[in-house]
Structure 1
């Protein structure tokens, strides 16, 4: 009997050992499967489960050539946090900003269909160089871009001029300055729009002056220069880690650009061909960048139909219809309704996406301006099939009266007005 009991105990013990062993094998197999396909966390090149200083050091070592690969098979993919297909100094800057808490996500993690709440910030470098300071609503001095970001602004627009002067407010915006500002904004996680004026200074409905260096070109030469210049700027941006999400080919081109050759009322075909030169150059550098044709007076449906009927009949290529709207405190509800009707008509008539590239209102009517921004955003979002891409405020950081402009969102004490609250909704 005693021997029989011992045999039973041995059998039971063996069964227990087999079950334990099988469970261990199953656990190992599960671990192997999960380890073979870890969930990608951008910036986490060593697959530690977090982005930290070790990841920063590894990517820096990779760029310096001290290492040729990362600890994990997905390391290179995880290191490309701005999604431009390469690992470079911009990725290092973004990871540093993430670790320091300056940004909460990387550009590659920002969905392309996220509504753009934007600001044209082209004056900012010259304001800073002139001693202007920026304070948040608690009175603490901060980087203006960080203040804008804290108000919900997620995109910036930067104008670029061909051979600008060094005039404080009517110059600068050169290619190199455009790149520097774009890199700075990108490092803070902003999406980028580049606004080509194709001029040495302001281009708008009242003037579309050719760059001085282009004055003696015939039309074929003008088309080639438009392509070459656009391609050059876009290539330099790309080489600095900047792939703009949107590019304007011309600024407020109500009657074309590069007058007189590209004046639409004289020769719509010429204007269409110039648009195509810019379009082709943009797409040659980055096919994903959306090209915008930008017209002011977004409430004027007659103007928009004339322009885009004309461009379409002459084979113009573009992705987005851009608009400006600068109402005052009394007429903004009416103009906004007209603008909404126009936007819906553009979507229905041409099946194009819409971007509100510029808005503004008198700074001293901040409550009305806030309501205007909220309404503008909501109306743009209401377009069918998500055709409304975003809304950009023009130079919100400008102080009252700066260069004669009074439609910013800042007070003379360096603090933002409540108008910016409109982007928080």
Structure 2
């Protein structure tokens, strides 16, 4: 009995001193672009110069989860259902948890564009709810049929202004946005009852945009299990939301505490990134983001996912140079120890 009590006290002290237990905190990356890179003949390497498949490389770097986007009818099939299945199988091989991110578009969906898929563009609201449910259900059922354990599902990607525009722009028709969100929620639970349904917004430092969306969703009866935040100091500074990266780190953690207090919602940083050309600073930023997520959110932030670390060239916030991980990814490797 004495030993049991002593062990419990030691565990409590450890959690208090060092933040969340590592088993309850996820370090991940969105590596949805992997197969398209492979099709283009690109190769990735570890720091020793050894060729690595991207999922294997993320696992080698200490990550324990991957995030995979789903497009409805994409050109070339990249990020379509079969492509997502292929990537999910790779994650399963390495024992990595899987997050599925439904964009509800044939291409990128984000706060600046939420384009209705071409085959859905003439649907009415009721038909759209049915189609969204079927698409969500069918993709997830495909994964389940192949024994993929999906841990989290995003119903929409950065839906700060709703999705499926103009039908469900949040500022114009919050009720319909909530109704379609609920259709997605119900579809997820029909296939993976234990999966956490995430609603994901950008600008994680900006409490007002989160209050607007989640007040509206709550008012019209939509459900969610977790709130996903994008945390990008680079974009926050460019958008005049913050003056420096320290402000982003401080304010996203404060927002997570606020979201739990107001809505009872657990949270996760589902996207983050730093400038690839400034790897030393980028590592410092990622260390700060991970540390804040673990230690400054009262235990209500459950992970940090880097967006497209393997991206080079056209996107400024990757974490690779010469097809190899930079010091930015060391922040994740060190956090995993």
TM-score scaled by length of structure 1 = 0.70
**Inter-partner Cα distance in structure 2 for 1:113 and 1:346:** 23
Contact 2:73 2:106 in 1 (8 A): yes
The whole-number CA distance in structure 1 between the counterparts of 2:194 and 2:23 is 13
Kept after mapping to 2: 8 A contact 1:343/1:383: no
Cα displacement string for residues 31-51 of structure 1 (whole angstroms, at most 9, x for unaligned residues): xxxxxxxxxxxxxxxxxxxxx
From 212, 232, 255, give the equivalent of 1:326.
232
User: Hey, what does 2:323 align to over in structure 1?
Assistant: 414
1:97-130: per-residue Cα shift (whole Å, max 9, x none)?
A: xxxxxxxxxxxxxx99521101000111111121
Q: How many residues align?
A: 307
Matched, 1:257 2:163: yes
Q: Contact 1:120/1:158 (CA < 8 Å) preserved in 2?
A: yes
Give the Cα separation in 2 of the matches to 1:385 and 1:361.
25
Runs of 4+ in 1 over 6 A off after TM superposition: none
Q: Could you tell me which residue of structure 2 aligns to residue 389 of structure 1?
A: 302
User: Does 1:148 pair with 2:58?
Assistant: yes
Listed one character per residue, the Cα deviations across residues 231-285 of structure 1 (whole Å, up to 9, x for unaligned) are 1111111001112100000000011011111111011111111110000000011
Structure with more of its chain in strand, by fraction: 2
Flag the 1:113–1:247 CA change in 2: closer, same or farther, 3 A: farther
- Change in Cα spacing, 1:320 to 1:112, as seen in structure 2 (3 Å) is farther
- Structure 2 SS opposite 1:386: coil
Rg larger in structure: 1
Matched, 1:336 2:249: yes
Native 8 Å contact 1:353 1:389 kept in 2: yes
TM-score (norm 2): 0.88
Q: Which runs of no fewer than 5 residues in structure 1 stay unpaired?
A: 1-110
Q: How does 1:204-215 map to 2 (within 5 A)?
A: 204-215=110-121
Which residue of structure 2 aligns with residue 47 of structure 1? none
Q: CA deviation at 1:415?
A: 1.6
Asked if 2 retains the 8 angstrom alpha-carbon contact of 1:159 and 1:197, the reply is yes
List alignment gaps of at least 5 residues for structure 2.
Answer: 1-20, 238-242
Output the aligned Cα RMSD: 1.6
Deviation at 1:133, TM superposition (A): 1.3
Corresponding residue for residue 177 of structure 2: 271
CA drift of 1:384 comes to 5.4
- Aligned twin of 1:378: 291
Does the 8 Å CA contact 1:156/1:190 hold for their aligned counterparts? yes
Task: Confirm or deny that 1:217 pairs with 2:217.
Answer: no
Q: Residue 357 of structure 1 contacts residue 393 of structure 1 at CA under 8 Å; is this kept in 2?
A: yes
Return closer, same or farther for 1:323/1:283 CA change in 2, 3 Å cut-off: same
For each residue in 1:19-72, what CA deviation from the matched residue of structure 2 results, as whole angstroms up to 9, or x when unmatched?
xxxxxxxxxxxxxxxxxxxxxxxxxxxxxxxxxxxxxxxxxxxxxxxxxxxxxx
